[in-house]
Amino acid sequence: MKQRSALDMYANGTAWWDTSISDIKKNEIIIRGYPVEELIGNISYTQMLYLLLCGEILSEKKAKLLESVLVAGADHGPRAPSIAAARMAATCGISFNSCVATGINVLGDVHGGAVEQAMRLFYSTESLLDAHPEQSVSSVVKKQFERFQREGKKLPGFGHQLHDHDPRVKRLYELAQQLVKEGEIQGCYLMIAEEYRLQLERWKQKNITMNIDGVAAAIQCELSIPAEAAKGIFALSRGMGIVAHAFEELQNGVLIKGPCPNRDDLVHYSGPLKRHLEKK
């Protein structure tokens, strides 16, 4: 992020809010140049998202692949913090959109955010490959992997608290490979991700599979989606589950619902024993 001041840019003639995304006038809504009424009913949700974000219309096949990623991430049950926070919010008498926002607000670097980190890694690895055409994918990846090891950093895109054969991963990988076969996407990021998997597997001396963040990242790189937008895209994916769960909780009619019942193994006070203020 370049460090610039909005006041300086305005003083130099840039409009305070300058955008290439949309132009709104009386009875006219232009999205990246297209009159919105020409888009409605003619492009999909995913194509609209991509158009807004990246400025172009994604082909139907590529759009369906991105749509698969959104569908895959939509829900992970009431124990996911994003879902639980939204469910509790729905019992507290706030506006329903605010219940959804409460859930989306927690989808940070540690809860869905690994996609962004994996994308950064894949993009930078691809740049290195571009810069060093004489080196093989596996040797470039090996060097990057070893750097991660030295820096004590965890490789994003592998491992999961629950699943070691995540049903979503195999399916997304399959759909992606089909598009490589059909020449719709290049496949270089999928290849890079696979190389990292192999490196990690050799190092850990056991089977390693990519996780949902890793395969989503590889696919989004294939589609030239910017890494910094990844947490926003996941917000619209998990947002579906958040909407559904918050609504279900609202229907229950329970008020002020906390995270769990009041039982000793669930909530415990380990602070100071009872004490009193000193007399002044």
In terms of CB distance, is 194 or 241 closer to a second copy? Answer: 241
In terms of CB distance, is 52 or 204 closer to a second copy? Answer: 52
Task: Tell me the one-letter amino acid at 125.
Answer: T
Please tell me whether residue 3 binds a second copy under the rule CB under 8 A. yes
Planar angle of CA 97, 80, 153, nearest 5 degrees: 115
Residue 203 CB, nearest approach to a second copy (Å): 18
Residue reference for tokens 């991509």: 50
Residue 148 CB, nearest approach to a second copy (Å): 15
Please tell me whether residue 266 binds a second copy under the rule CB under 8 A. yes
Q: Which stretch binds a second copy (CB under 8 A): 86-94, 125-133, 143-151, 180-188?
A: 86-94
Take residue 108 and report the two structure tokens written for it.
Answer: 């940070």
Please tell me whether residue 259 binds a second copy under the rule CB under 8 A. yes
Question: Within positions 207 to 246, which residues make up the interface with a second copy, using CB under 8 A?
Answer: 226, 228-236, 239-246
Q: Which stretch binds a second copy (CB under 8 A): 121-129, 140-148, 169-177, 181-189?
A: 169-177
Strand 28-31 vs strand 34-35: parallel, antiparallel, or unpaired?
A: antiparallel
In terms of CB distance, is 142 or 171 closer to a second copy? Answer: 171
CA dihedral 220, 221, 227, 231 (to 10 degrees): 20
Helix (H) or strand (E) holding 207: none
Handedness of CA 93, 96, 100, 105 (dihedral sign): negative
